[in-house]
Structure 1
Amino acid sequence: MASSEAGLDRGRSAFEEHRWTEAFEHFLDADRRGGLPPPDLERLATAEILTGKTAAGIDTLTRAHEEYLVIGDVASAARCAGWLGMHLMDTGGIARSAGWFARAGRLVDELNEPCAVEGLLLIPTALGMLFGGDPAGALQVFGQAFAIAERFQDRDIISLSLLGTGQATLMLGDANAGLRLFDEVMVAVTAGELSPVPSGIIYCAVIGNCHLAFDLRRALEWTAALDRWCGGRPDMVLFSGQCQAHRAELYRLHGAWSEAAGAAKAAQALSAAGDYEALYGGYYQQGEVERLRGEFAAAEESYRQAGHSGYEPQPGLALLKLALGDTAAAQTLVRRAADAADLATRRHLLPALVEIELAAGDIAAARRSADELALAVQDYATPMVEAASHQADGAVLVAEGEPVRAQHVLRRAWTLWRELGVPFEAARCRALVGQACRASGDDNSAVMDFEAAQAEFLALGAAPAAAWAASLQHAQAPGRPATPLTPRELEVLRLVAAGKANRVIAGELYLSEKTVARHISNIFLKLGLQSRVAATRYAYEHGLTG
């Protein structure tokens, strides 16, 4: 028994110091030697869940619930039942989750006096309303949960209620108030006042909502904090995958696409290991990088995997359909997603909606969406929402025949994207400025803007966008082949189209095979191609084989 007590002490110490695997091992050993009291069973369950042993953790938390009932601690038994419902809800065990919530409610009803668990049980009810299209109703229920939690000074439930209140407020269109609530709840998290599971829930939800509100500064700050939090718990699986998915999004926005792909892969691995909520972000961000690089088949598969999470992979999938030339499908997808979304999510979809409506030729619909995005700037003027709004407005102005006004608006958007460090959107703005210049008769400035945009796209590895910028650059250059290739690259392309291998091409042009391979890689990148067959077809279709 002495050995069991020593193991318990070591397990509790490791738990307090966030050494989850060590805590798990000590608690498990102590349990085998002499059993664990209910509070330590709860700690063991938490350590199991955090390290990806979700099924074992649920079983252990069930034991804790039963042990509390044996000793007559009904309130603690109800708390365990409530958290069992929460964990099962996250892992897709809907029926079991509902059963545990029902049991928790029955136990609370049996108590002679109110308890904090009443507030905990309101959280899933409010979440159902929040994601079921009733943010106003959710706001009211989260308020009730907060009042109960505050009465009993339960910091975990207070903070989860504030988180939900912030989410509902954001969905109702008041970004300023919602983000202030997120900042408030993050104070409790970063101060270490909360239990580990609520802390992780709040970290990940707040960062996702900052992205939704176009608040890149907050997203960066809280992602860095989450990264430090996860780094101090290196054996933690739960929430670590979501951290990697958030990192992937930031890497992608800032043009570090290889790093974004690596973080997305890490998120996928951690999702498979037990961080189920990382599934969507891991695959969606991978799909975004693949789409931007022109790896369309891979992107479609990544979006399909992301869709298995239950969340629709938009606007990425709609933009992929646009890139593949299926404008009607793109328009249908993005319109349906925007019409079904809450206000915050709809605003997040508006830049893609404007781009797709313009591609479909519906300038009036694009103008309505651009004006709607401008309203978001009035509500919450972050640099990112301003940049997106100016870019959308400028693109529509070009289509409306107002190129001079468009130039001013687009240059402001370009400046904001550059200051934010978002190179892909900055390059897109540069190309749009070129279109505005050309429409106003300034072809020399237009060509310079197109060249600059193409160079930036090439540096990123954005093959489809580079090919688009090149096509704009040469669109009004009579007598020249409509291609961005250098004379040497054209020679290499002609020989590739003739079916000649790299070794033969190197011999004919007096180059090394390594140099030929580099030329072919540049040809693929500039033209948005992925194979010699595609390059051969391009050469014949554009009259470049002579």
Structure 2
Amino acid sequence: MTVDDDRLDAARRACAEREWATARALYVRLRAEGPLEVDDLAALADCCWWLGLMDEYVATAAEVVDQRMAAGDAAGAGMAALEVGVPELVRGHVAAGAGWLARARRLLADVPDAVEHGYLLLLDAHDALDAGDVAGADRLAAQVLDLGDRHAEPTLQAHGLFLRGRCALRRGRVAEARRLLDEAMVPVLGGRTAPQWAGDLYCRMMQVCHELGDLPRAQHWTEVTERWCRGWAPATLFSGICRVHRVQLLQVHGQWPQALEEAERAAADLTGLDVTAAAEAHYRVGELHRLRGELDAAREAYDRSRGLGRDPQPGLALLHLDAGHRGRAATMLGAALDATTDPLTRAPLLAAAIEVGLDSAGGTPDELVEELSEIADRHASPVWRAVACRGRGVLLAAHGDEVAALRELREAQERWQQIGAPHETACVRHEAADVLDGLGDHESARAERELATAELEELGATHEIARRTARHPRRRRTDGLSPREVEVLVAVADGGTNREVGHRLHISERTVARHLANIYLKLGTPSRTAAVSWAREHALL
């Protein structure tokens, strides 16, 4: 029995017009009446892929492999096997994916000059980079690019350039990396690359922008990718990944209800399609719950993310900080920092460590801020520069240099405002208010604090407000004491020696002595006992 020619033409037209559901329905009915030619079977597999019907895709694509093998098309069968293996690995079916890739290698071994070898080299290069072998990954990426050039294959050229850009980034050659990444996207933007491999590069570009903390570029590439996905709708996999990156932007811009809704949708859509992206979606759900003070829901989301293979740091450590377990947060971040030397992987961990204010996660607070500053400057990162400015401001205030501290905090505030990050802006305002109190400008401090609290209330950051309020439950006359000097005075009132106070506050014994000298001078008191007595009288204790 043969299939109906008119309906077959209709199925092919629907596929060419990217009407995936219509094309699939026609192909399925035709297939029930008789065997499809291998190209039509491959078209049916493509329909299933774009619709996110991955089990059906794998089953159909496996038949494509068999038919191409039967026809003696080793190169076509090898590429088809590879295009089964990659999605299987992506959705977490490691054994099946490895088996299909092994079959692809065996089939292509008989076709030594086939361009399809470039895709195997590409996978090997990604594996090398993930394992930390940057030099090996770069050599393999160069071979991919060479194959692409020799065969005039834009997809391989784009992927080879992109991977070389990633390698340059890992080596700290940021200008070179940006040039390579931008060049890689030229054939992608021009529609000259195979669509499924183009989608992969769009997603990787968004990821790189977020790793760099370059939110303006992340915004640009997210919008570009969203437009591209609409042209291949529903493009379930790529649309889901794009939604995760959109969530990251919405979170920074303070649109938390929409971000949470999108993150939960992405987690549902990506289940069974991409285990890594699904894990990231669950992590984003956890971050949004944590920011809203919903700590139990945040922990549950972090646990789901961990179950899919993502270490839920630094969010889980910050959750422990929010719950009052600062030591546990410090331990977690210390372990995470010890586990990586990659600067862009360390950057968010360093930012969290600075937030915790610890000296056990890879160095003293000063060293943590210095490292993050170096990463930010080397990578021209708007986000990490803002975080580093805030960190320097807080440290300068702790060291008693309120004037320099206020300057750094104002710069951080300006940078966050340029990015459009209301939560981070409000937090910096609160810290600037503390410094203004230390400088004796209580009126400005009060205005900053009220504005920051209003911004946090609008966001729904009730937990952050409670934490800030707990830190300053009642504003009393402090005679110009800085926040750090108040902390030292409180620790002294608890009976601590200079060494014990230094250990508790993560500062040196000499710094404690300097703070005490400033306290005596500002309060006009001659001794520790008199200073503590003053603090009790003014409700600081």
Q: State TM-score, norm by structure 1.
A: 0.82
Aligned runs of 1:498-509 on 2, under 5 Å?
none
Q: Is the 8 A contact 1:294 1:462 kept in 2?
A: yes
- Corresponding residue number in structure 2 for 1:387: 386
Q: Is the 8 A contact 2:199 2:238 kept in 1?
A: yes
User: C-alpha separation between the residues in 1 aligned to 2:297 and 2:437?
Assistant: 35
1:64 counterpart letter in structure 2: V
Secondary structure class of the residue paired with 2:109: helix
Corresponding position: 1:66 with 2:66 = yes
- Corresponding residue number in structure 2 for 1:419: 418
Secondary structure class of the residue paired with 1:115: coil
- Corresponding residue number in structure 2 for 1:354: 354
Q: 1:439–1:95: structure 2 CA closer, same or farther, 3 Å change rule?
A: same
The Cα shift of 1:351 comes to 1.2
User: C-alpha separation between the residues in 2 aligned to 1:211 and 1:244?
Assistant: 14
Q: Deviations over 1:458-493 (max 9, x none)?
A: 1111012112333455543269xxxxxxxxxxxxxx
- Corresponding residue number in structure 2 for 1:104: 104
Q: Is the 8 A contact 1:253 1:422 kept in 2?
A: yes
1:266 counterpart letter in structure 2: R
Q: Is the 8 A contact 1:14 1:22 kept in 2?
A: yes
The Cα shift of 1:20 comes to 1.8
Aligned runs of 1:34-113 on 2, under 5 Å?
34-111=34-111, 113=112
Q: 1:29–1:432: structure 2 CA closer, same or farther, 3 Å change rule?
A: same
Q: Is the 8 A contact 1:454 1:470 kept in 2?
A: no
- Corresponding residue number in structure 1 for 2:30: 30
User: C-alpha separation between the residues in 1 aligned to 2:367 and 2:26?
Assistant: 61
Q: Deviations over 1:326-349 (max 9, x none)?
A: 112211222222232322111232
Aligned runs of 1:289-368 on 2, under 5 Å?
289-341=288-340, 342-356=342-356, 358=357, 365-368=364-367
Corresponding position: 1:124 with 2:89 = no
Secondary structure class of the residue paired with 1:238: helix
User: C-alpha separation between the residues in 2 aligned to 1:363 and 1:119?
Assistant: 40
2:40 counterpart letter in structure 1: D
The Cα shift of 1:446 comes to 2.2
Aligned runs of 1:407-446 on 2, under 5 Å?
407-446=406-445
The Cα shift of 1:50 comes to 2.1
- Corresponding residue number in structure 2 for 1:468: 467
Q: Deviations over 1:31-78 (max 9, x none)?
A: 333322223322221221221211111111111111111111111111
> Matched residues, percent identical?
33
User: C-alpha separation between the residues in 2 aligned to 1:298 and 1:381?
Assistant: 35
User: C-alpha separation between the residues in 1 aligned to 2:131 and 2:362?
Assistant: 32
Corresponding position: 1:250 with 2:249 = yes
Q: Is the 8 A contact 1:293 1:461 kept in 2?
A: yes
Tell me, which stretches of 5 or more residues in structure 1 are unaligned? 480-546
- Corresponding residue number in structure 2 for 1:376: 375
The Cα shift of 1:3 comes to 5.3
- Corresponding residue number in structure 2 for 1:404: 403
Q: Deviations over 1:364-387 (max 9, x none)?
A: 621111111111233232432321
Q: 1:251–1:54: structure 2 CA closer, same or farther, 3 Å change rule?
A: same
Secondary structure class of the residue paired with 2:4: helix
Secondary structure class of the residue paired with 2:57: helix
User: C-alpha separation between the residues in 1 aligned to 2:208 and 2:4?
Assistant: 45
The Cα shift of 1:229 comes to 2.1
Q: Is the 8 A contact 1:162 1:185 kept in 2?
A: yes
The Cα shift of 1:362 comes to 8.4
Aligned runs of 1:84-233 on 2, under 5 Å?
84-111=84-111, 113-233=112-232
1:164 counterpart letter in structure 2: L
- Counting matched residue pairs gives 477
Q: Deviations over 1:97-137 (max 9, x none)?
A: 222222222222212x4111111111222222222222332
User: C-alpha separation between the residues in 1 aligned to 2:248 and 2:32?
Assistant: 44
The Cα shift of 1:433 comes to 1.0
User: C-alpha separation between the residues in 2 aligned to 1:476 and 1:447?
Assistant: 9
The Cα shift of 1:363 comes to 11
The Cα shift of 1:148 comes to 1.6
Q: 1:362–1:225: structure 2 CA closer, same or farther, 3 Å change rule?
A: closer
2:4 counterpart letter in structure 1: S
- Corresponding residue number in structure 2 for 1:512: none
Q: 1:176–1:266: structure 2 CA closer, same or farther, 3 Å change rule?
A: farther
User: C-alpha separation between the residues in 1 aligned to 2:165 and 2:26?
Assistant: 39
- Corresponding residue number in structure 1 for 2:532: none
Q: 1:233–1:407: structure 2 CA closer, same or farther, 3 Å change rule?
A: same
The Cα shift of 1:91 comes to 1.6
Q: Is the 8 A contact 2:166 2:177 kept in 1?
A: yes
Secondary structure class of the residue paired with 1:97: helix
2:59 counterpart letter in structure 1: D
User: C-alpha separation between the residues in 2 aligned to 1:196 and 1:99?
Assistant: 25
The Cα shift of 1:90 comes to 0.7
CA RMSD of aligned residues (A): 2.3
User: C-alpha separation between the residues in 1 aligned to 2:17 and 2:61?
Assistant: 21
Q: 1:180–1:18: structure 2 CA closer, same or farther, 3 Å change rule?
A: farther
Secondary structure class of the residue paired with 1:214: coil
Secondary structure class of the residue paired with 2:236: coil
Q: Is the 8 A contact 1:172 1:344 kept in 2?
A: no
Q: Deviations over 1:218-267 (max 9, x none)?
A: 11011111222223344332212112211111111100111101111210
Q: Is the 8 A contact 1:213 1:348 kept in 2?
A: no
User: C-alpha separation between the residues in 2 aligned to 1:18 and 1:136?
Assistant: 40
The Cα shift of 1:359 comes to 5.2
User: C-alpha separation between the residues in 2 aligned to 1:143 and 1:118?
Assistant: 13
Secondary structure class of the residue paired with 1:239: helix
Q: 1:175–1:122: structure 2 CA closer, same or farther, 3 Å change rule?
A: same
Corresponding position: 1:274 with 2:273 = yes
Tell me, which stretches of 5 or more residues in structure 2 are unaligned? 479-541
